[in-house]
Amino acid sequence: MAAITTLKDAIRDNVNSGDTVAFEGFTHLIPFAAAHEVIRQGITDLTLIRMTPDVIYDQLIGMGRVKKVVFSYAGNPGVGLLRRMRDAVENQWPRALEMEEHSHSAMAQAYEAGASGLPCAVFRGYLGADLKRVNPNIKSVTCPFTGEVLAAVPSLRPDVTVIHAQKANRKGDVLIEGIIGVQKEAALAARRVVVTVEEIVDDFGDLHPNLCILPNWTVTALAQVPGGATPSYAHGYYDRDNSAYLEWDKVSADRDLFTTWMQENVLDATPDTFADRIARLKETAA
């Protein structure tokens, strides 16, 4: 059963130093507020899983909280590179970063295999590609009927998956809409699931029967954090803050600037900052 609680308690009770954690959301619904809370609570030595590390992992990596990252595309979407991640890989700043690199297809199917209780994902992939030369976690399996050699990767089974969603009801059932990404699979693949939502409603009312819902008994802890996905977006609530992604390119280009920015915007902030940000976004947009 989902415990409806504060973000602070949800993170404290569920995310430990040394854990393997997936913060998922594909461009849409990236759980920034939860990641910032992890940073504030001093949680470290994390193994982070995410298809697209995005700015959210650039921040965790730049703060030295990450031991290893499992990923498939390390870019600042629509902008360029992830400069903090690159600094960690190329210059070990602020610490060395282990990497396990896959393709999107492999990551998506490895989450799916995790949700399906399987030890590995078997798929058609990496044909002629060099990743399987450098990643020992890419192996193969032979189809016993056709003899085709298929790729195999271990299923992804995070200790904790953290996601942001639009709505929960009072029972703790969680509704995800729009670009749904891999959140359902990442959640069902994990031992514990932390969800932040834009709003908690008394009742979903008359929902379409086939919508993407995580029943409350699949969720460990749930916290309402309006704006918790900014600068990513929440379909039906607020748009992507594209300027923040552009700004990040500058902030992350310089170690000192980055450090100052994180101090002001994360370490000295609270989850309420996110509600303020979307209020400001909406105001200026109006």
Partner 1 sequence: MSSFSATEMMTIAAARALKNDDVVFVGIGAPSAACNLARLTHAPDITLIYESGTIGTKPDVLPLSIGDGELCETAVTTVSVPEMFRYWLQGGRISVGFLGGAQIDRFGNINTTVIGDYHTPKIRLPGGGGAPEIASSCQKVFITMKQSLRGFVDKIDFYTSFGHGEGGDHRKRLGITTQGPMLLVTDLAVWEPDPISKEFTVTSLHPGVTRDAVQATVGWTVAFADSVTETPPPTTEELDVLRALHARTDAAHGKKEKAA
Residues that bind a second copy (CB under 8 A): 116-120, 122-124, 137, 139-146, 148, 150, 152, 154, 177-178, 180, 208-212, 235
User: Quick one: what does residue 182 bind among a second copy, partner 1, none, with the CB cut-off 5 to 8 Å set by partner type?
Assistant: partner 1
C-alpha dist (Å) from residue 277 to 39, 50, 152, 174, 285: 19, 25, 43, 23, 12
If the CB atoms of residues 177 and 239 are measured against a second copy, the closer one turns out to be 177
If the CB atoms of residues 41 and 116 are measured against a second copy, the closer one turns out to be 116
Rounded least distance, CB 130 to partner 1, Å:
4
The sign one gets for the Cα dihedral 260, 30, 95, 72 is: negative
User: Quick one: what does residue 50 bind among partner 1, a second copy, none, with the CB cut-off 5 to 8 Å set by partner type?
Assistant: none
Type of residue found at 204: F
User: Quick one: what does residue 137 bind among a second copy, partner 1, none, with the CB cut-off 5 to 8 Å set by partner type?
Assistant: a second copy
If the CB atoms of residues 89 and 120 are measured against partner 1, the closer one turns out to be 89
If the CB atoms of residues 28 and 164 are measured against partner 1, the closer one turns out to be 28
Do β-strands 46-49 and 221-224 pair in parallel, antiparallel, or remain unpaired?
Answer: unpaired
Question: Residue 86 phi/psi, 5° resolution?
Answer: -65, -40
If the CB atoms of residues 43 and 192 are measured against partner 1, the closer one turns out to be 192
Rounded least distance, CB 1 to a second copy, Å:
25
Helices 255-262, 54-62: axis angle to 10 degrees equals 100
Rounded least distance, CB 135 to a second copy, Å:
13
Rounded least distance, CB 136 to a second copy, Å:
10
Cβ distance 30 to 39 under 8 Å?
A: no
Residue 76 CB: number of other CB atoms within 10 A?
20
Of 191, 189, 270, the closest CA to residue 19 belongs to 191
Rounded least distance, CB 286 to a second copy, Å:
24
